[in-house]
Each structure stands twice: as structure tokens, then as C-alpha cells.
Amino acid sequence: MLTDEEINSILDVYDSDKPYEIKFNRKHRKHQKRIIEDGKISKGKITELVWDRLKPYIDELTVIEGNMKWVPYKCVDKMKLVKYHPGDSFSWHVDASTKINNNQKTTFSVTIYLNSVPKKCKGSTLFVDNAKLDPIQPTKGYAMLLNTLYGPEHCGEELKHGVKYILRLDVLANKTE
């Protein structure tokens, strides 16, 4: 989904933005996170790059909900840049849809792995058994796209060694009838 150069520009922002770091150590999540505006990244707008790479799949990204059709049109400009240390994890959850107004809401989450994590270090994304999805071991530049209206439930396995970086974005959709 992203090149090494694009990933490095994102990680540079993380490392240079120390005052905005938030440490989560709650029952359901334990990791460090920053909310960043897309304009802070020097190599162009990452959200636009990601959207341009998702656009060829717009038909597959259109979601039917009752008698409504949600057609995606861009990625939200705010992103979550997350860093996991050994012992950090994110418990079972479903990525939530955010309603902007009656005609707009997020319909997909995009998680981009910003570094590779060896299998022996754990840190993979796991899915509930009934989702029939294999675990995803973080691979630099790869993306995971999840429907925020219908699941699936997943978790971030506890990282045993090293660090793991992810970038989390949301896809915004318009309602059509």
C-alpha cells in the first residue's frame, strides 16, 4: 500500500512530534498513539495516496445497509499513528463507523503496517474464529481493510519483542438511495 519512502516520512513525523504522544494503558488497549493531521507529512498527503490506491476497488468498497448504499469517496484527513512496545496489545474489538451527518459516515478502516514484525515476536492481528480469517503478521507496507459496519472482531496480539508501527485511517462514504 505504501512505499519505503512514504513510510519513512510518516515515521519521521512520529519521532519528531514527541509532545503529542499519548500513552494508553487501559484494560482493552496498551500502546502509544498520536493523532496527526495529514498536512504534517512532508512527502505529500498520505490520505490522498491511500485513497488513490483504493479507488480502483470502489465497487467492492460500496456497502449496502438496508435500502441505503454507501459509496466511498475519500480517506479522512486525521490518522492514528500507533507504536507498540514489548508487552503492548489491543484487546478484542470491532472498528467502529463514525457518523459525520445523515449522509456521510466512515465505512472502512485501513490499517497500514509500517514495519515488518517477525512471527516469533508475535504482534499479529487475530480474528475471531467465526470470521474464518487467518492471522495477519505485520509486513512493512501492507494494508488491512475492514468493514466498520459489519465487523469482523479482531485484536492486536501482545508484542513479545521489538516494536510495531501501524497507521490507521478511515474511509468516508456518501449515502445514496
Q: Domain range holding 123?
A: 4-176
Q: Is pLDDT at 130 greater than 90 in this prediction?
A: no
Q: What is the amino acid identity at position 12? A: D
Judging by DSSP bridges, how do beta strands 89-93 and 104-113 pair with one another? unpaired
Closest of 90, 93, 117, 82 to residue 30, by C-alpha: 90
Q: Name the pTM for this structure.
A: 0.87
Averaged over 11-36, what is the pLDDT?
A: 57
C-alpha cell at 49: 495516496
Confidence of residue 66 (pLDDT cuts 50, 70, 90): confident
pLDDT at res. 36: 64
Q: In terms of C-beta density within 10 A (0-12 exposed, 13-18 middle, 19 or more buried), how is residue 43 classed?
A: middle
**pLDDT of 59:** 86
Which of 127 and 30 is assigned the larger pLDDT? 127
How many Å apart are CA 17 and CA 35, to the nearest integer? 10
| Nearest of 144, 142, 145, 126 to residue 134 by alpha carbon | 126
* pLDDT-based confidence at residue 15 (cuts at 50, 70, 90): low
Instruction: Indicate which CATH number applies to the domain containing 79.
Output: 2.60.120.620
- Mean pLDDT of the region 28-52: 68
E strand or H helix that includes residue 5: helix 4-16
Domain tally, the chain: 1
CA 175 vs CA 67, 71, 75: distances in Å: 10, 6, 15
What is the per-residue pLDDT across 133-174, written as a single tens digit (0 to 9) for each? 999 999 999 999 999 998 899 999 999 999 999 999 999 999
